Chains A and B, each alone.
Chain A
Amino acid sequence: MQAAERRFAGTLLAPITLLYAVCLIAPISFFLAVSVFRYDPFAMYVPDLTGANFGRLVFDPYYRGIIVLTLRIALLTTIFSLLLGYPLAYFLSRTQSAWRGVLLFLVIAPLMTGVIVRTYGWIVLLGSEGLINSLLIGLGVVRRPLQMLNSEFAVVVALVHILLPYMVFPLFSALAAQDPNLERAAGTLGAGSARTFLEVTLPLSRSGILMGSVLVFTLAAGAVVTPALLGGKNVQMMGQTIYELVLRTLNWPLAAAMGSLLVLLQLSIILVYFRGGRRVVAERR
């Protein structure tokens, strides 16, 4: 690169570098550092190094329960998103329909309406006078309305709905990038459609499965609004706990320790993703 070009690149990249350094990396680093500070009710935190905050999260059954519940909800959400997202992405990547553009738009459109809109939709759907209960009572399946709101079930259903597009798009990219001749070749060589799918299509879409799963898991683990509105008192996730600790108890060190666990969780999943991704590349060679 010539000096003039380097200077031009530097000028163009200066705003984003400054913004990321000052508003993203510095504050988050400091926030994570507070996780090893001591809590003080009068000064928020005192910079004495301690592992007590992490110890409390792991050994206090209340906080351990929150972490386990968060992991369970994030995992269930990821699995169901994959089960629903795969057929959808497969269909979208293979269809010759003139409606393909519209169908793709309909997957993105819900995403754009924001979290609140969709969470509210589930409150109306799952409520005791909502569509599902009206249908069940109308069909005579149940006599009294089912209590579906304020449960882990409601949170998982809504999170799957909210995060499904994040699963579909990486899957769609991976599936659309496959050479259609591979499936045809497998068919010509005598493999049935099930075997072709299991031995050709599915293994080749692994990068999409991993990317989609990482995105959905991370976003589900960090959820606040959906569990707060649909989970009731029994469902308390890590994101909500950070919110409560910061705004109600003002216990910044414990909130920071919870946040660090969230980041750690995400980093370990991204690591698995890159490992898995590398294995996929190695297999292809």
Chain B
Amino acid sequence: MSSPSAADSAPMLRRAPALAEESTLRRVLRGAAPSALRIAVALIYAFLLTPILIVVLTSFSPTRSSTFPPAGFSLLWYGEFFKSASFLDAFKFSLQLGAAAAVMATAIGFASAYAIVRLLGRWRDAGQSLALLPAMIPHILISVALLLALTIIPLPDFGVLLAGHVLICLPFTIAGITASLDGIDPGLEAAARTLGASRARALWEIVVPLAAPGVLSALIFAFIVSFGDVYIALFLTGPGMTTLPIEIFSYMQWESTPVIAAITSLQIVLILVLGLVVERLVGLRHVMRF
């Protein structure tokens, strides 16, 4: 080792800790932004999820008032729900309405999505935007306009309510099924048709099975949309056909006992299970895509 190199290394050695310190400081500063973001994100999640967790915890309250924290643990309010004929009827009605609306919105949505993806060509974007129309109009206006139509033309009340629910479910089923049709190779259908299958047969035997997970998740999501709706039902429900959200809404205008928490907890569990099924099948994000 010669002396010049030793002389060179000496200041280097002295500078090195300073450099290290500087980079630590900079690293801390740089790290501060991401960790601030992480804390903010954690707080936002707390904001998103707390009201829902609170509902579930309140449902086990042994007392009448919606106090938090609850004074103990009981299944009293679940019992109240199963004893209440009006809530049970509304629950059953919502299940039936949701099932009917989901089946219709999925069938119509599949036909429309297929035509939009495979047949419209350069009109595809226009078709897709038009299909989303019900999502662009405030739902309360759809509801009130349908009620006005009912005052002029005597139509079956249930049919109109069902039509309203099919309308608000369609944007979701079409968005979801469009996404899953985009993932299917058009060549498969072309091959089936070359081999002699008709357009309809190729659709039924090739496309439908391949798109099944997307179709099933659209069905479930449409059910969820219908089941949670208040706005369409607001003007269109009547005696003998009240949906669960409307029954809860009218009950809550007078009082709010934990029976509401019990019902909504059951609803949360039902919807989370269905949501997880959709998530497993295709990923919820594709259904939510506008």
- Which A residues are CB-close (under 8 A) to B267? 113-114, 117
- Which A residues are CB-close (under 8 A) to B47? 84, 161
- Which B residues are CB-close (under 8 A) to A23? 146, 160, 163-164, 167
Q: Are A117 and B268 in contact (CB under 8 A)?
A: yes
In the complex, what's the smallest C-beta–C-beta distance from B141 to chain A, in angstroms?
A: 5
Of all chain B residues, the one with the shortest Cβ separation from A245 is B144
Q: How far is the CA of A110 from the CA of B267 in the complex (A)?
A: 12
Q: Are B66 and A129 in contact (CB under 8 A)?
A: yes
Main secondary structure of the interface of B (DSSP, over half): helix
- Give residues of chain A (71-127) contacting chain B, Cβ–Cβ below 8 Å: 84, 87-88, 90-91, 101, 103-110, 112-118, 120-125, 127
- Which A residues are CB-close (under 8 A) to B166? 19
Known: A117-B267, A239-B138. A9 touches B284 (CB 8 A): no
Which of A26, A44, A84, A263 is B151 in contact with, Cβ under 8 Å? A44
Q: Are A30 and B148 in contact (CB under 8 A)?
A: yes
- Which A residues are CB-close (under 8 A) to B65? 129
Q: Does B49 contact A (CB under 8 A)?
A: yes
Number of A-B contacts (CB under 8 A): 249
In the complex, what's the smallest C-beta–C-beta distance from B180 to chain A, in angstroms?
A: 16
In the complex, what's the smallest C-beta–C-beta distance from B7 to chain A, in angstroms?
A: 34
Q: Are A120 and B49 in contact (CB under 8 A)?
A: no
- Which A residues are CB-close (under 8 A) to B234? 224-225, 243
Q: Does B92 contact A (CB under 8 A)?
A: no
In the complex, what's the smallest C-beta–C-beta distance from A25 to chain B, in angstroms?
A: 8
Q: Which of B81-89, B106-114, B182-190, B208-216 contacts A (4 or more CB under 8 A)?
A: B106-114
Which of A4, A5, A112 is B275 in contact with, Cβ under 8 Å? A112
Q: Are A116 and B248 in contact (CB under 8 A)?
A: yes
Which of A24, A90, A109, A255 is B137 in contact with, Cβ under 8 Å? A24
Q: How far is the CA of A8 from the CA of B145 in the complex (A)?
A: 32
- Which B residues are CB-close (under 8 A) to A125? 50-51, 54, 68
- Which B residues are CB-close (under 8 A) to A34? 148
Q: Does A246 contact B (CB under 8 A)?
A: yes
Known: A117-B52, A224-B140. A12 touches B261 (CB 8 A): no
Q: Does B158 contact A (CB under 8 A)?
A: no
- Which B residues are CB-close (under 8 A) to A5? 119, 199
Instruction: Give the size range of B's interface with the partner.
Output: 35 or more
Q: Does B170 contact A (CB under 8 A)?
A: yes
Q: Does B149 contact A (CB under 8 A)?
A: yes
Over the window 194-207 of chain B, the binary record of Cβ atoms lying under 8 Å from chain A Cβ atoms (1 yes, 0 no) is 00000110000000
Q: Are B54 and A28 in contact (CB under 8 A)?
A: no
Q: Are A27 and B149 in contact (CB under 8 A)?
A: yes
Known: A108-B288, A118-B52, A121-B52. A129 touches B67 (CB 8 A): yes
Of all chain B residues, the one with the shortest Cβ separation from A117 is B264
Q: How far is the CA of A105 from the CA of B289 in the complex (A)?
A: 14
Q: Are B114 and A19 in contact (CB under 8 A)?
A: no
Q: Are A105 and B284 in contact (CB under 8 A)?
A: yes
Q: Are B69 and A134 in contact (CB under 8 A)?
A: yes
Q: Are B66 and A30 in contact (CB under 8 A)?
A: no
- Give residues of chain B (85-132) contacting chain A, Cβ–Cβ below 8 Å: 107-109, 111-112, 114-115, 119-121, 127, 130-131
Q: Does A153 contact B (CB under 8 A)?
A: no
Q: Does A266 contact B (CB under 8 A)?
A: yes
Q: Are A266 and B138 in contact (CB under 8 A)?
A: yes
Q: Are A24 and B167 in contact (CB under 8 A)?
A: yes
Q: Does B19 contact A (CB under 8 A)?
A: no
In the complex, what's the smallest C-beta–C-beta distance from B234 to chain A, in angstroms?
A: 7
Known pairs A1-B119, A15-B108 / 4 extra A-B pairs, C-beta < 8 Å: A110-B52, A247-B235, A259-B141, A266-B136
Shortest beta-carbon contacts, A-B, top 9: A114-B228, A121-B51, A222-B138, A27-B145, A31-B145, A9-B119, A12-B115, A12-B111, A129-B67
Chain A positions within 8 Å of B, measured between CB atoms, are 1, 4-5, 8-9, 12-13, 15-16, 19-20, 23-24, 26-28, 30-31, 34, 44, 84, 87-88, 90-91, 101, 103-110, 112-118, 120-125, 127, 129-131, 134, 161, 164-165, 169-170, 173, 193-194, 211, 215, 218-219, 221-222, 224-225, 228-229, 239, 242-243, 246-247, 252, 255, 259, 262-263, 266, 270
16 A-B Cβ contacts within 8 A?
Answer: A13-B112, A13-B115, A15-B112, A16-B112, A20-B133, A27-B148, A101-B283, A106-B49, A115-B245, A117-B228, A131-B54, A131-B69, A164-B44, A193-B30, A221-B138, A225-B249
